[in-house]
Amino acid sequence: MLSRVLAERYSAGVRAGLISVAATSGVLVAFGLGSGSVTRPFLFLGQHLGSYRDVTTPQTAVILAGLLLHAAWIIAWCVAFSLVALDARPWTRIPLALVTVAIAFLASSRIIGSALDYSGIGGARWVLLHLVFAITLYKGTRFAPVGY
C-alpha cells in the first residue's frame, strides 16, 4: 500500500499527465495535419514501437496503439516528475521540469531514432513538442494540487 504522501504525488502526476497528454497530442495532430494526415504521428508510433508492421492489423488499431503509447509515456514522466518535485518551489520546479523533459527527449529520441523524419515530427518539430511538454509538465503540476 502506498503511503498517503506517495499516493497524493502519484495522483497529482497522473492529473498533470492528462493535461500534458492533451496538449502534446494536440501538437502531434497539428504536425500530422501539416504532413497530410492528422493520425500520421500516432500511426508511426504504433508501427514503430509496437509489433503492428504486418498488413493484417487494422490501421485504426495501430493508431490507437500509438495514441496509448504516447499517453503512457507522457503520464509516466509526469508521475516521475511529481514524485520528485511536486512540493518544490516554482523557481526550482522549472529547472526540474526542463531536466525531466530533456531526459525524456533523449530517451525517446534514442528509442525512436532516425525514423522521426518519416513520422512528420522530426527536427525542430520534435524540439517544439518537448517544449510544450515542459510547459504543461510545470503548469500541470501547479494546477494539480495535492490533497484532491
* Residue 137: per-residue pLDDT: 86
**Cα separation values, 141 from 4, 32, 78, Å:** 17, 28, 8
* Residue 47: per-residue pLDDT: 80
Q: Which three cell numbers stand for residue 62?
A: 495501430
Average pLDDT, rounded, for the chain = 81
Mean pLDDT for the stretch of residues 104-130: 73
Rounded CA-CA distance 133/16 in Å is 11
The 10s digit of each residue's pLDDT in 37-49 is 888 888 888 887 6
* Residue 52: per-residue pLDDT: 54
Mean pLDDT for the stretch of residues 42-63: 75
